[in-house]
Amino acid sequence: MVQSTFTANLKKYRLAKGFTQEQVADTLRVNTQTVSRWECGTTLPDVLTLPVLAELYGITVDDFYKNSSFAYDNYAQRLAAVYEDTRSPEDFMRCLAEYEKLQQTGKLSLADKWNLAMLHQFMMDYCIENALNWYDDILACGPEEDPFSYNRACACRTKLFFAIGKGGEILEHYNAVYASDKSSPRTLEHLLTAYIFAKRTDEAYDCFKKEIVRFPDDWTLLIIGGDICRNLGKYEEALELYDKAGNIGTAFCDELYSKAFCYESLGRLQEAADLYSQIAETLRSRGFDVEADMAAKTASRLKSEI
């Protein structure tokens, strides 16, 4: 029975795609009689041929053994249906690879483009859910083990909340947290970060100017304050804050990156390029070769634009 279903499907899918036995034979580089014998059940294609046949017919190998299945326009669409069912990252990547092949040949139909959009939307939902779960796990652990990573995670979580339309919720939360505990610079950091992502820059500036007197030597807050000033076009004030943070000491050349962004905004590309070169040299001396290469590449790009 399985073999009968298999051989019947070989013919069904070929006809569904509008292929003759000769065309299939030419594609697989076999003779027409071989294809005919497969469909009659006299012989069977080998295991290496099956995936090629499946892709040609827009199905998966498993579909050959099913009593009821559908021949899709192409193999990518069949893999999209698999991913829609499993929602696994592995099936997403398999499908995406097939669509990239079609894209390179310029053969994307409207149905393919819709599938591609759907694929990415499903994967986006998957990634958002997993990101939120990990952020919740980090928050549950608290900042004691690794304060730096914890606070960076809080900033990324805030950005994600704004991206998914929950910005008001997170801003209200951090307003309440800071109102109840003004003794920690980190609660102010989280509030200012939320203001920035909310694009309520004037309020962020007023809050920073008022509250920084509590923590005048906190380099992270100074960097954030500089970013707020830069967003408002207060470049000289921003540069002063970045320099102050640098004098205190930052974790990862933060003040240099921020100053470089500032110089780019001002069109002072040579100064920005020089800073990126300095960043690259500093990071390389600390063993961060990948990050150093990225900074050096940015320096080269900026120099080419001068």
Phi, psi for 59 (deg, rounded to 5): -135, 180
Q: Tell me how far apart the alpha carbons of residues 158 and 55 are, in angstroms, rounded to a whole number.
A: 43
* pLDDT at residue 64, rounded to an integer: 87
* pLDDT at residue 3, rounded to an integer: 65
- Write out the chain's pLDDT in tens, 306 residues: 446 888 888 888 888 888 899 999 999 999 999 999 999 888 989 989 999 998 888 888 888 888 766 777 888 888 898 899 999 999 999 899 989 988 998 889 999 999 999 999 999 999 999 999 999 999 999 999 999 899 999 999 999 999 999 999 999 999 999 999 999 999 999 999 999 999 999 999 999 999 999 999 999 999 999 999 999 999 999 999 999 999 999 989 999 999 999 999 999 999 999 999 999 999 999 999 999 999 999 999 999 999
Q: What is the pTM of this model?
A: 0.77
Confirm if 158 and 170 have CB atoms less than 8 A apart.
yes
* pLDDT at residue 1, rounded to an integer: 43
> Can you give the residue ranges of every domain in the chain?
1-71, 73-141
* pLDDT at residue 18, rounded to an integer: 84
Residues in the chain: 306
Which CATH superfamily, name and number, covers 1-71? lambda repressor-like DNA-binding domains (1.10.260.40)
Phi, psi for 129 (deg, rounded to 5): -60, -45
Confirm if 301 and 293 have CB atoms less than 8 A apart.
no
Longest dimension (CA), the chain: 87
Q: Could you tell me which residues come within 8 angstroms of residue 28 by beta carbon, excluding any fewer than 6 positions away?
A: 35, 49, 52, 53, 56
Q: What is the DSSP string of 185-254?
A: HHHHHHHHHHHHHTT-HHHHHHHHHHHGGGSTT-HHHHHHHHHHHHHTT-HHHHHHHHHHHHHH--SSSH
CA angle 8–32–17, rounded 5-degree value: 50
* pLDDT at residue 280, rounded to an integer: 97
Residue type, 79: L
